[in-house]
Structure 1
Amino acid sequence: MPRKHSKTAFSSADPTTTITLPAEEIPTPKTFTDGLPLPKLFVFDLDYTLWPFWVDTHPTPPLKKSTDGGLTVKDAHGGRHGFYNEVAGVLTAIKSRGFQLGAASRTCTPDLARQMLTYLSIPWEGTAQPAVELFDYLEMYPGSKTTHFQRIQKRSGVPYEEMLFFDDESRNRNVEELGVTMQLVRDGVTRAEVDKGVESWRKRNGRT
Protein backbone atom coordinates (compact mmCIF):
# COMPACT_ATOMS: atom_id res chain seq x y z
CA MET A 1 0.00 0.00 0.00
CA PRO A 2 1.58 3.34 -1.03
CA ARG A 3 2.51 5.70 1.75
CA LYS A 4 1.96 9.44 1.67
CA HIS A 5 4.83 11.77 2.38
CA SER A 6 4.72 14.98 4.37
CA LYS A 7 4.27 18.14 2.35
CA THR A 8 7.40 19.77 3.75
CA ALA A 9 10.37 18.55 1.72
CA PHE A 10 14.07 19.01 2.28
CA SER A 11 14.78 20.14 -1.27
CA SER A 12 13.26 20.18 -4.73
CA ALA A 13 15.92 17.67 -5.77
CA ASP A 14 14.54 15.09 -3.36
CA PRO A 15 10.83 15.90 -2.93
CA THR A 16 10.02 12.85 -0.81
CA THR A 17 12.49 13.63 1.95
CA THR A 18 10.90 15.09 5.06
CA ILE A 19 12.67 16.84 7.91
CA THR A 20 11.59 17.70 11.41
CA LEU A 21 10.99 21.33 12.22
CA PRO A 22 12.75 22.81 15.27
CA ALA A 23 10.97 21.77 18.44
CA GLU A 24 10.08 25.32 19.41
CA GLU A 25 8.11 25.77 16.17
CA ILE A 26 5.65 23.03 17.13
CA PRO A 27 3.06 24.00 19.77
CA THR A 28 2.94 21.81 22.86
CA PRO A 29 0.12 19.23 22.77
CA LYS A 30 -2.95 20.74 24.44
CA THR A 31 -3.37 17.73 26.71
CA PHE A 32 0.05 18.42 28.24
CA THR A 33 -1.16 21.69 29.77
CA ASP A 34 -4.81 21.05 30.67
CA GLY A 35 -4.08 19.83 34.19
CA LEU A 36 -5.40 16.30 33.67
CA PRO A 37 -3.36 13.08 34.13
CA LEU A 38 -0.82 11.94 31.54
CA PRO A 39 0.81 8.56 30.85
CA LYS A 40 4.18 7.95 32.49
CA LEU A 41 5.68 6.31 29.41
CA PHE A 42 5.21 7.21 25.74
CA VAL A 43 6.29 4.59 23.19
CA PHE A 44 6.61 5.05 19.43
CA ASP A 45 6.94 2.74 16.47
CA LEU A 46 9.59 3.90 13.98
CA ASP A 47 8.60 3.16 10.37
CA TYR A 48 5.80 5.43 9.12
CA THR A 49 5.35 6.73 12.64
CA LEU A 50 8.51 8.74 13.36
CA TRP A 51 9.89 8.63 9.82
CA PRO A 52 8.29 8.09 6.36
CA PHE A 53 10.07 4.92 5.27
CA TRP A 54 10.85 1.32 6.19
CA VAL A 55 14.34 1.45 7.62
CA ASP A 56 15.01 -2.16 6.60
CA THR A 57 13.92 -1.53 2.98
CA HIS A 58 14.32 2.04 1.72
CA PRO A 59 17.75 3.29 2.93
CA THR A 60 20.67 1.45 1.34
CA PRO A 61 23.57 1.00 3.78
CA PRO A 62 26.08 2.15 4.64
CA LEU A 63 24.51 5.26 6.12
CA LYS A 64 26.41 8.52 6.39
CA LYS A 65 25.87 11.69 8.37
CA SER A 66 24.68 14.62 6.28
CA THR A 67 26.08 18.14 6.53
CA ASP A 68 22.72 19.62 7.52
CA GLY A 69 23.09 19.24 11.27
CA GLY A 70 21.40 15.87 11.48
CA LEU A 71 18.14 16.79 9.76
CA THR A 72 18.72 13.99 7.27
CA VAL A 73 20.88 10.90 6.85
CA LYS A 74 22.43 9.89 3.52
CA ASP A 75 22.43 6.33 2.25
CA ALA A 76 24.80 4.61 -0.19
CA HIS A 77 22.96 6.00 -3.22
CA GLY A 78 22.83 9.56 -1.93
CA GLY A 79 19.20 9.30 -0.85
CA ARG A 80 18.30 11.36 2.18
CA HIS A 81 16.06 10.26 5.02
CA GLY A 82 14.61 12.29 7.89
CA PHE A 83 11.90 12.43 10.53
CA TYR A 84 8.34 13.61 9.98
CA ASN A 85 7.87 17.36 10.44
CA GLU A 86 6.57 17.45 14.02
CA VAL A 87 8.75 14.77 15.60
CA ALA A 88 11.14 17.14 17.38
CA GLY A 89 8.28 19.06 18.95
CA VAL A 90 6.52 15.90 20.10
CA LEU A 91 9.57 14.15 21.57
CA THR A 92 10.92 17.21 23.37
CA ALA A 93 7.50 18.01 24.82
CA ILE A 94 7.52 14.54 26.39
CA LYS A 95 11.09 14.61 27.68
CA SER A 96 11.01 18.19 28.96
CA ARG A 97 8.13 17.25 31.27
CA GLY A 98 9.96 14.33 32.81
CA PHE A 99 8.07 11.52 31.10
CA GLN A 100 9.83 8.42 29.81
CA LEU A 101 10.23 7.65 26.12
CA GLY A 102 10.52 4.33 24.30
CA ALA A 103 10.65 2.87 20.80
CA ALA A 104 9.09 -0.45 19.77
CA SER A 105 9.82 -1.61 16.23
CA ARG A 106 9.47 -4.88 14.32
CA THR A 107 12.40 -3.96 12.05
CA CYS A 108 14.60 -6.73 10.69
CA THR A 109 17.61 -4.39 10.82
CA PRO A 110 17.86 -3.11 14.41
CA ASP A 111 21.47 -2.00 13.97
CA LEU A 112 20.47 0.17 11.01
CA ALA A 113 17.53 1.59 12.96
CA ARG A 114 19.80 2.48 15.87
CA GLN A 115 22.29 4.08 13.49
CA MET A 116 19.51 6.13 11.93
CA LEU A 117 18.43 7.33 15.38
CA THR A 118 22.05 8.14 16.21
CA TYR A 119 22.71 10.15 13.05
CA LEU A 120 19.38 12.01 13.01
CA SER A 121 19.22 14.94 15.40
CA ILE A 122 16.46 16.72 17.28
CA PRO A 123 16.75 20.51 16.77
CA TRP A 124 15.81 22.17 20.03
CA GLU A 125 16.56 25.70 21.27
CA GLY A 126 19.58 26.13 19.03
CA THR A 127 21.06 22.70 19.73
CA ALA A 128 21.01 19.45 17.76
CA GLN A 129 20.84 16.42 20.05
CA PRO A 130 21.17 12.90 18.61
CA ALA A 131 17.66 11.45 18.64
CA VAL A 132 18.81 8.19 20.22
CA GLU A 133 19.76 10.08 23.41
CA LEU A 134 16.13 11.00 24.08
CA PHE A 135 14.98 7.40 24.35
CA ASP A 136 14.97 5.54 27.66
CA TYR A 137 14.06 2.20 26.06
CA LEU A 138 14.76 0.80 22.58
CA GLU A 139 13.15 -2.51 21.63
CA MET A 140 13.82 -3.15 17.95
CA TYR A 141 13.52 -6.66 16.46
CA PRO A 142 10.97 -8.80 14.55
CA GLY A 143 8.02 -10.39 16.32
CA SER A 144 4.87 -9.52 18.20
CA LYS A 145 5.01 -6.17 19.94
CA THR A 146 3.61 -7.73 23.07
CA THR A 147 7.17 -9.02 23.55
CA HIS A 148 8.56 -5.52 23.08
CA PHE A 149 6.23 -4.18 25.75
CA GLN A 150 6.86 -7.01 28.17
CA ARG A 151 10.54 -6.16 28.03
CA ILE A 152 9.89 -2.44 28.38
CA GLN A 153 7.68 -3.09 31.39
CA LYS A 154 10.27 -5.32 33.02
CA ARG A 155 13.03 -2.76 32.53
CA SER A 156 11.00 0.31 33.46
CA GLY A 157 8.73 -0.99 36.19
CA VAL A 158 5.98 1.19 34.71
CA PRO A 159 2.54 -0.51 34.71
CA TYR A 160 1.11 -1.23 31.26
CA GLU A 161 -1.86 0.98 32.12
CA GLU A 162 0.55 3.94 32.34
CA MET A 163 1.85 3.42 28.79
CA LEU A 164 0.66 5.08 25.57
CA PHE A 165 1.80 3.64 22.24
CA PHE A 166 1.74 5.22 18.77
CA ASP A 167 1.87 2.94 15.72
CA ASP A 168 0.68 2.96 12.09
CA GLU A 169 -0.35 -0.72 11.93
CA SER A 170 -3.66 -1.85 13.40
CA ARG A 171 -2.35 -5.40 13.97
CA ASN A 172 -0.24 -4.04 16.80
CA ARG A 173 -3.35 -3.23 18.84
CA ASN A 174 -2.76 -6.62 20.42
CA VAL A 175 -0.60 -4.80 22.97
CA GLU A 176 -3.85 -3.51 24.46
CA GLU A 177 -4.40 -7.03 25.82
CA LEU A 178 -1.57 -6.19 28.23
CA GLY A 179 -3.22 -2.94 29.32
CA VAL A 180 -1.31 -0.58 27.01
CA THR A 181 -3.33 2.06 25.13
CA MET A 182 -2.50 2.32 21.42
CA GLN A 183 -3.18 5.27 19.13
CA LEU A 184 -3.27 4.39 15.42
CA VAL A 185 -1.53 7.11 13.38
CA ARG A 186 -1.57 7.94 9.68
CA ASP A 187 1.09 9.97 7.87
CA GLY A 188 3.32 10.18 10.92
CA VAL A 189 3.04 11.31 14.49
CA THR A 190 1.86 14.87 15.09
CA ARG A 191 0.85 17.06 17.99
CA ALA A 192 -2.79 16.37 17.10
CA GLU A 193 -2.20 12.59 17.16
CA VAL A 194 -0.59 12.89 20.58
CA ASP A 195 -3.64 14.72 21.88
CA LYS A 196 -5.93 12.03 20.46
CA GLY A 197 -3.79 9.34 22.05
CA VAL A 198 -3.78 10.99 25.45
CA GLU A 199 -7.54 11.48 25.33
CA SER A 200 -8.00 7.79 24.45
CA TRP A 201 -5.67 6.78 27.27
CA ARG A 202 -7.63 8.90 29.77
CA LYS A 203 -10.96 7.49 28.63
CA ARG A 204 -9.74 3.88 28.69
CA ASN A 205 -8.28 4.23 32.17
CA GLY A 206 -10.96 6.44 33.70
CA ARG A 207 -8.58 9.36 34.13
CA THR A 208 -10.75 12.16 32.77
Structure 2
Amino acid sequence: MPRRLSKSSGSVPAAATTTSTPGSSLPTFLTDGLPLPSLFVFDLDYTLWPFWVDTHVTPPIKAVPSSSYTTAATDRTGDTFKFYSDVPHILYTLSSTSKTRVGVASRTHAPDLGREMLKLLYVGPPGQQDDEGKKKSDKFKPKRALDLFDGGLEIYPSSKIRHMEALAKRNGVRYEDILFFDDESRNRDTETLGVTMWLVRDGVSWKEIENGVKEWRSRRGIR
Protein backbone atom coordinates (compact mmCIF):
# COMPACT_ATOMS: atom_id res chain seq x y z
CA MET A 1 0.00 0.00 0.00
CA PRO A 2 1.61 3.29 -1.07
CA ARG A 3 2.13 5.74 1.76
CA ARG A 4 1.42 9.45 1.89
CA LEU A 5 4.41 10.99 3.57
CA SER A 6 3.80 13.84 5.97
CA LYS A 7 5.39 17.21 5.27
CA SER A 8 6.45 17.44 8.90
CA SER A 9 9.81 15.84 9.48
CA GLY A 10 9.84 12.83 11.74
CA SER A 11 6.10 12.22 11.57
CA VAL A 12 4.58 8.86 10.73
CA PRO A 13 3.34 8.65 7.11
CA ALA A 14 -0.38 8.12 6.59
CA ALA A 15 -2.24 6.38 3.80
CA ALA A 16 -2.37 8.25 0.51
CA THR A 17 -5.44 10.36 -0.04
CA THR A 18 -7.53 9.23 -2.98
CA THR A 19 -10.05 11.09 -5.09
CA SER A 20 -12.62 9.97 -7.60
CA THR A 21 -11.45 9.81 -11.20
CA PRO A 22 -13.72 10.56 -14.12
CA GLY A 23 -14.49 7.88 -16.65
CA SER A 24 -12.94 7.66 -20.07
CA SER A 25 -14.94 10.67 -21.38
CA LEU A 26 -13.20 14.04 -21.29
CA PRO A 27 -14.14 16.56 -18.59
CA THR A 28 -16.57 19.25 -19.76
CA PHE A 29 -14.08 22.10 -19.33
CA LEU A 30 -11.85 20.47 -21.97
CA THR A 31 -14.65 20.12 -24.52
CA ASP A 32 -16.85 23.20 -23.96
CA GLY A 33 -15.15 25.20 -26.71
CA LEU A 34 -13.91 27.91 -24.35
CA PRO A 35 -10.23 28.93 -24.35
CA LEU A 36 -7.70 26.89 -22.37
CA PRO A 37 -4.25 27.83 -21.07
CA SER A 38 -1.54 27.19 -23.65
CA LEU A 39 0.65 25.66 -20.97
CA PHE A 40 -0.26 23.72 -17.83
CA VAL A 41 2.66 23.70 -15.36
CA PHE A 42 2.90 21.45 -12.32
CA ASP A 43 5.09 21.39 -9.26
CA LEU A 44 6.12 17.84 -8.27
CA ASP A 45 6.32 17.42 -4.47
CA TYR A 46 2.90 17.36 -2.78
CA THR A 47 1.36 18.46 -6.08
CA LEU A 48 1.74 15.49 -8.43
CA TRP A 49 2.93 13.04 -5.79
CA PRO A 50 2.55 12.89 -1.97
CA PHE A 51 6.18 13.15 -0.88
CA TRP A 52 9.32 15.26 -1.08
CA VAL A 53 11.62 13.47 -3.48
CA ASP A 54 14.75 15.00 -1.93
CA THR A 55 13.99 14.04 1.69
CA HIS A 56 11.55 11.11 1.67
CA VAL A 57 13.13 9.00 -1.08
CA THR A 58 16.36 7.08 -0.43
CA PRO A 59 18.07 6.07 -3.69
CA PRO A 60 18.50 3.92 -5.56
CA ILE A 61 14.91 3.52 -6.72
CA LYS A 62 13.42 0.78 -8.87
CA ALA A 63 10.12 -0.09 -10.47
CA VAL A 64 7.62 -2.15 -8.49
CA PRO A 65 7.14 -5.47 -10.35
CA SER A 66 3.64 -5.89 -11.74
CA SER A 67 1.72 -7.81 -14.38
CA SER A 68 1.25 -4.67 -16.44
CA TYR A 69 3.11 -1.37 -16.59
CA THR A 70 4.86 0.34 -13.69
CA THR A 71 2.70 2.65 -11.59
CA ALA A 72 4.88 2.70 -8.47
CA ALA A 73 8.53 2.69 -7.43
CA THR A 74 10.37 1.61 -4.29
CA ASP A 75 13.51 3.01 -2.73
CA ARG A 76 16.38 1.40 -0.80
CA THR A 77 14.35 1.29 2.42
CA GLY A 78 11.40 -0.46 0.76
CA ASP A 79 9.04 2.54 0.84
CA THR A 80 6.64 2.79 -2.09
CA PHE A 81 6.01 5.93 -4.11
CA LYS A 82 3.44 6.84 -6.75
CA PHE A 83 1.32 9.73 -8.07
CA TYR A 84 -1.85 11.03 -6.45
CA SER A 85 -4.71 8.92 -7.77
CA ASP A 86 -6.10 11.33 -10.40
CA VAL A 87 -2.70 12.39 -11.73
CA PRO A 88 -2.04 9.58 -14.27
CA HIS A 89 -5.38 10.22 -15.99
CA ILE A 90 -4.84 13.98 -15.87
CA LEU A 91 -1.34 13.85 -17.38
CA TYR A 92 -2.35 11.41 -20.11
CA THR A 93 -5.43 13.44 -21.02
CA LEU A 94 -3.77 16.87 -21.03
CA SER A 95 -0.78 15.63 -23.02
CA SER A 96 -3.18 14.20 -25.63
CA THR A 97 -5.00 17.51 -26.05
CA SER A 98 -3.57 19.41 -29.01
CA LYS A 99 -4.61 22.76 -27.53
CA THR A 100 -2.30 22.51 -24.53
CA ARG A 101 1.21 21.62 -23.43
CA VAL A 102 2.31 20.29 -20.05
CA GLY A 103 5.43 21.26 -18.11
CA VAL A 104 7.08 20.89 -14.70
CA ALA A 105 8.45 23.54 -12.32
CA SER A 106 10.05 21.90 -9.30
CA ARG A 107 12.39 23.53 -6.78
CA THR A 108 14.06 20.35 -5.52
CA HIS A 109 17.57 19.65 -4.32
CA ALA A 110 17.45 16.22 -5.96
CA PRO A 111 16.71 17.00 -9.63
CA ASP A 112 18.24 13.78 -10.94
CA LEU A 113 16.14 11.71 -8.54
CA GLY A 114 13.01 13.59 -9.57
CA ARG A 115 13.68 12.86 -13.22
CA GLU A 116 14.44 9.22 -12.43
CA MET A 117 11.08 8.90 -10.67
CA LEU A 118 9.33 10.32 -13.74
CA LYS A 119 11.18 7.80 -15.91
CA LEU A 120 10.11 4.83 -13.78
CA LEU A 121 6.44 5.75 -13.36
CA TYR A 122 4.27 4.91 -16.36
CA VAL A 123 0.89 6.39 -17.20
CA GLY A 124 -1.78 4.56 -19.16
CA PRO A 125 -4.82 5.90 -21.01
CA PRO A 126 -8.06 5.95 -19.01
CA GLY A 127 -10.19 2.87 -19.56
CA GLN A 128 -7.30 1.03 -21.24
CA GLN A 129 -5.38 -0.15 -18.20
CA ASP A 130 -4.46 -3.69 -17.22
CA ASP A 131 -6.40 -5.51 -19.97
CA GLU A 132 -4.02 -8.44 -20.23
CA GLY A 133 -4.16 -10.48 -23.39
CA LYS A 134 -5.36 -7.54 -25.50
CA LYS A 135 -2.82 -5.99 -27.81
CA LYS A 136 -2.89 -2.19 -27.69
CA SER A 137 -2.13 0.09 -30.58
CA ASP A 138 0.79 2.47 -30.14
CA LYS A 139 -1.75 5.24 -29.61
CA PHE A 140 -3.05 3.61 -26.44
CA LYS A 141 0.13 2.14 -25.01
CA PRO A 142 1.27 3.29 -21.56
CA LYS A 143 3.94 5.99 -21.61
CA ARG A 144 6.66 7.09 -19.25
CA ALA A 145 5.44 10.05 -17.24
CA LEU A 146 8.63 11.84 -18.26
CA ASP A 147 7.58 11.71 -21.92
CA LEU A 148 4.25 13.43 -21.31
CA PHE A 149 5.78 16.79 -20.40
CA ASP A 150 6.05 18.26 -23.88
CA GLY A 151 6.29 21.75 -22.40
CA GLY A 152 9.61 20.96 -20.73
CA LEU A 153 11.05 20.23 -17.30
CA GLU A 154 12.49 22.88 -14.99
CA ILE A 155 13.70 20.79 -12.04
CA TYR A 156 16.41 22.46 -9.94
CA PRO A 157 16.73 24.47 -6.69
CA SER A 158 15.84 27.95 -7.86
CA SER A 159 12.91 30.35 -7.74
CA LYS A 160 9.65 29.51 -9.48
CA ILE A 161 10.00 32.88 -11.21
CA ARG A 162 13.06 31.53 -13.01
CA HIS A 163 11.19 28.32 -13.83
CA MET A 164 8.32 30.27 -15.41
CA GLU A 165 10.67 32.48 -17.39
CA ALA A 166 12.40 29.43 -18.85
CA LEU A 167 9.13 27.61 -19.64
CA ALA A 168 7.55 30.65 -21.29
CA LYS A 169 10.62 31.20 -23.46
CA ARG A 170 10.91 27.53 -24.43
CA ASN A 171 7.26 27.27 -25.45
CA GLY A 172 6.90 30.72 -26.96
CA VAL A 173 3.88 31.58 -24.83
CA ARG A 174 2.86 34.64 -22.84
CA TYR A 175 2.87 34.39 -19.07
CA GLU A 176 -0.86 35.15 -19.18
CA ASP A 177 -1.36 31.86 -21.05
CA ILE A 178 0.25 29.74 -18.29
CA LEU A 179 -1.73 27.99 -15.54
CA PHE A 180 0.51 26.82 -12.70
CA PHE A 181 -0.42 24.32 -9.96
CA ASP A 182 1.59 24.32 -6.73
CA ASP A 183 1.08 23.46 -3.05
CA GLU A 184 3.03 26.39 -1.58
CA SER A 185 1.45 29.82 -1.31
CA ARG A 186 4.85 31.54 -1.46
CA ASN A 187 5.01 30.61 -5.13
CA ARG A 188 2.20 33.05 -5.86
CA ASP A 189 5.06 35.42 -6.62
CA THR A 190 4.92 33.93 -10.13
CA GLU A 191 1.73 35.93 -10.61
CA THR A 192 3.80 39.12 -10.76
CA LEU A 193 4.77 37.88 -14.23
CA GLY A 194 1.15 37.40 -15.28
CA VAL A 195 0.98 33.65 -14.61
CA THR A 196 -2.18 32.29 -12.99
CA MET A 197 -1.26 30.09 -10.02
CA TRP A 198 -3.79 27.70 -8.47
CA LEU A 199 -2.94 26.59 -4.93
CA VAL A 200 -3.60 22.89 -4.25
CA ARG A 201 -3.91 21.68 -0.67
CA ASP A 202 -3.89 17.90 -1.03
CA GLY A 203 -2.46 17.12 -4.43
CA VAL A 204 -3.73 17.63 -7.95
CA SER A 205 -7.14 16.15 -8.73
CA TRP A 206 -9.62 16.66 -11.54
CA LYS A 207 -11.54 19.09 -9.33
CA GLU A 208 -8.37 21.15 -8.76
CA ILE A 209 -7.71 21.24 -12.51
CA GLU A 210 -11.27 22.37 -13.17
CA ASN A 211 -11.06 25.08 -10.50
CA GLY A 212 -7.71 26.26 -11.86
CA VAL A 213 -9.10 26.54 -15.38
CA LYS A 214 -12.14 28.45 -14.06
CA GLU A 215 -9.84 30.90 -12.28
CA TRP A 216 -7.67 31.34 -15.38
CA ARG A 217 -10.77 32.03 -17.50
CA SER A 218 -12.28 34.36 -14.91
CA ARG A 219 -9.18 36.55 -14.93
CA ARG A 220 -9.62 36.94 -18.67
CA GLY A 221 -13.32 37.71 -18.53
CA ILE A 222 -14.25 34.34 -20.05
CA ARG A 223 -17.56 32.92 -18.87
User: TM-score, normalised to structure 1's length?
Assistant: 0.87
Measured in 1, the distance between the counterparts of 2:92 and 2:214 equals: 19
Listed one character per residue, the Cα deviations across residues 22-64 of structure 1 (whole Å, up to 9, x for unaligned) are: x874663331122211111100000000000000011100111
The counterpart of 2:178, out of the listed 163, 168, 172, is 163
Tell me the equivalent position of 2:216. Answer: 201
Measured in 2, the distance between the counterparts of 1:20 and 1:138 equals: 26
Tell me the equivalent position of 1:60. Answer: 58
1:130 aligns with 2:144: yes
Retained in 2: the 8 A contact 1:47–1:54?
yes
Measured in 1, the distance between the counterparts of 2:89 and 2:19 equals: 8
Measured in 1, the distance between the counterparts of 2:56 and 2:29 equals: 34
Measured in 2, the distance between the counterparts of 1:116 and 1:33 equals: 31
Count of residue pairs the alignment pairs up: 198
* Structure 1 alignment gaps of length 5 or more: 5-13
Retained in 1: the 8 A contact 2:64–2:72?
yes
* Structure 2 alignment gaps of length 5 or more: 130-140
Percentage of matched positions with identical amino acids = 49
Retained in 2: the 8 A contact 1:19–1:72?
no
Matches within 5 A, 1:90-105: 90-98=90-98, 99-105=100-106
Matches within 5 A, 1:27-176: 28-68=26-66, 69-98=69-98, 99-124=100-125, 125-126=128-129, 127-136=141-150, 137-176=152-191
Measured in 1, the distance between the counterparts of 2:120 and 2:17 equals: 15
User: TM-score, normalised to structure 2's length?
Assistant: 0.82
Retained in 2: the 8 A contact 1:175–1:182?
yes
- Secondary structure of the residue aligned to 2:219 is helix
Measured in 1, the distance between the counterparts of 2:19 and 2:200 equals: 17
